[in-house]
Amino acid sequence: MKTCRVIAFVSILLTTPLMAANFTLSSDEIGGQLTSKQVFNGFGCSGDNISPALNWKDAPAGTKSFAITLYDPDAPTGAGWWHWLMVNIPASVNSLPADAGNPAKNLAPKGSVQTITSFGQAGFGGACPPEGHGPHHYIFTVYALGVESLDLKADSQPSLVGYMLNANTLEKASLISYYQR
Domains and CATH numbers, the chain: 21-179 (3.90.280.10)
Q: Is the Cβ–Cβ distance between 22 and 11 less than 8 Å?
A: no
**The model's pTM:** 0.88
pLDDT score, position 16? 43
Low-confidence ranges of the chain (pLDDT < 50): 1-19
pLDDT score, position 20? 53
List, in sequence order, the alpha helices (H) in 16-168. Answer: 158-168
Which element (helix H / strand E) includes 10?
Answer: helix 2-15
pLDDT score, position 17? 47
Q: What does the pLDDT look like over 106-139, one tens digit per residue?
A: 999 999 999 999 999 999 999 999 999 999 999 9
pLDDT score, position 3? 46
